[in-house]
Amino acid sequence: MKRRIDGGRLLDLTDGSLTEVSVLVDDASGRVLAIGTDLPEVDARIRLDGEVLLPGLIDVHVHLREPGFEDKETIATGTRAAAAGGFTQIACMPNTKPPIDTPEGVAYVRVRADEAGHCRVWPIACITEGQRGERLTDFAALKAAGAIALSDDGRGVQHGGLMLQALAEAAKAGLPLAIHAEDETLSGRGVFDRGAAERLGVPESPAEAESVMIARDLLLAERTGAHLHICHVSTESAVSLVRWAKARGVKVTAEVTPHHLLLSDDVIEEADPVYKVNPPLRSERDRLACLEGFLDGTLDMVATDHAPHTQDEKRRPLLDAPFGLVGIETVFPLLYTYLVGTGRMSLAELVKRMSTRPAQAFGLAGGVLRPGGPADLVAVDLEGERVIDPEQFYSKGRNTPFRGWRAAGFPTLTMYGGRVVHRIERGVPVGDR
């Protein structure tokens, strides 16, 4: 079916201008057929009310929890949540049960995602078998099955020699290696950064646990020529290390989460597991360094590290509760409101960091909206403001520290491959929930 989208304003990513145009898409080919005015009548029309049209957003760090933890999230609910957040492509981490460390595991995710049909899902497979940090997986076989990167996310590879071997093999396979940087001999059972840990009398997860592993892996990436992608950077020293490595020509990209851009550990007034995330919320100095690094391009892209848990799990005592929070449905409105709305960055630059740059870094189609390209797009309402209410999430997870925050820029239309996968009309969801 061919559809024409009327009444939207297309954002030009080169100069930030907005132009009212129509967009013609075809769900059979999954392509944009034309963008402009006076486009021909087609099978169906979608009428927007001045919303801004953007390329579909891309999140390279999502936890879908399936297989093994379907009480937290499923591929169907996680991808539905992604569509509600304006995402048309996501990459999912392999710390499931069992971990995604075989070609069969990669194929399972792809099949389940295709069945759900809410967005494209790119599996990230394990670096080591079972994420045990002992033996490497078969990188070439995992790539052939559809993995776009490798990671033991949730754990850092503790053995330096094995990490050197992994980076050398990743370079041969042509796969990025995405690291969860955490030296567990330093982090131990730490839960919060120093300030909150001392204030509340709980174990500290020091900034050095993250930064020393990043330093090690940057040097190993330089030696091997591998593409090192650093997940959820949270410390001032880590930002400095990435900046240093880029200046040396190391092939490195880095992501930052919305919570590390918007929150410091100053917000933690009690031992509340909703703030328990790994890496932890850091000091205000670290937060400002991450923000500066994001604004100047040292940190390439935003990734949510969307990590749903059940409400019972997050009600446990702090030391027993799991790490993680959800964010895929709120990231664009939050960053639009608190970065673009406050004049810290342009809308075009934010979109590039949430779409164009992730596509470039991981070799994905998309990231721009143009005739002949994928019909992956999102329309966002920059005027209407809403209060974030986790009870309205499509994700099974309710564990967000942004409950009650006000934000504008929520998606009203998400289209993937020319098909509508999320639609809000007059404030009411259209279709499933």
**Model pLDDT, residue 431:** 66
Q: What is the mean pLDDT of residues 387-407?
A: 98
Predicted confidence band at 427 (pLDDT cuts at 50, 70, 90)? confident
- This prediction has a pTM of 0.97
**Model pLDDT, residue 430:** 83
pLDDT for residue 337 is more than 70: yes
Question: Which residues contact residue 83 at a Cβ distance below 8 angstroms, ignoring those fewer than 6 apart?
Answer: 118, 119, 394, 414, 416, 421, 422
**Model pLDDT, residue 429:** 82
Q: What is the mean pLDDT of residues 145-168?
A: 97
**DSSP string across 111-136:** HHHHHH-SSEEEEEE-SBGGG-SSSB
**Model pLDDT, residue 18:** 98
Cβ atoms 345, 103 nearer than 8 A: no
Sign, CA torsion 223/224/227/230: negative
Distance CA 224, CA 222 (A): 6
Write out the two tokens for 194.
């120093």
Q: What is the mean pLDDT of residues 139-167?
A: 98
Sign, CA torsion 383/389/390/391: negative
Edge-to-edge strands of the sheet including 120-125? 57-62, 87-92, 120-125, 149-150, 177-179, 228-230, 252-256, 301-302
Cβ atoms 207, 193 nearer than 8 A: yes
Predicted confidence band at 368 (pLDDT cuts at 50, 70, 90)? very high
pLDDT for residue 426 is more than 80: no
Question: Which residues contact residue 342 at a Cβ distance below 8 angstroms, ignoring those fewer than 6 apart?
Answer: none
Q: What is the mean pLDDT of residues 405-418?
A: 98
Percentage of the residues of the chain whose pLDDT score is greater than 90: 97
Predicted confidence band at 323 (pLDDT cuts at 50, 70, 90)? very high
Cis omega (within 30 of 0) for bond into 401? no
Cβ atoms 375, 31 nearer than 8 A: yes
3-state SS assignment for residue 340: helix
pLDDT tens digits for range 88-133: 999 999 999 999 999 999 999 999 999 999 999 999 999 999 999 9
The overall average pLDDT reported for the chain is: 97
How many residues make up the chain in this entry?
433
Tracing tokens 């990669």 back to the chain, one arrives at 106
Predicted confidence band at 433 (pLDDT cuts at 50, 70, 90)? very low
Q: Classify residue 188 as left (phi > 0), alpha (psi -120 to 50) or beta.
A: left
pLDDT tens digits for range 233-283: 999 999 999 999 999 999 999 999 999 999 999 999 999 999 999 999 999
Sign, CA torsion 18/406/302/91: negative
**Model pLDDT, residue 110:** 98
Distance CA 298, CA 359 (A): 17
The set of catalytic residues is: 305
Distance CA 355, CA 56 (A): 7
Nearest to 317 by CA among 378, 382, 271, 384: 271
Cβ atoms 229, 204 nearer than 8 A: no
CB-count burial class (<10 Å; 0-12, 13-18, 19+) for 11: buried
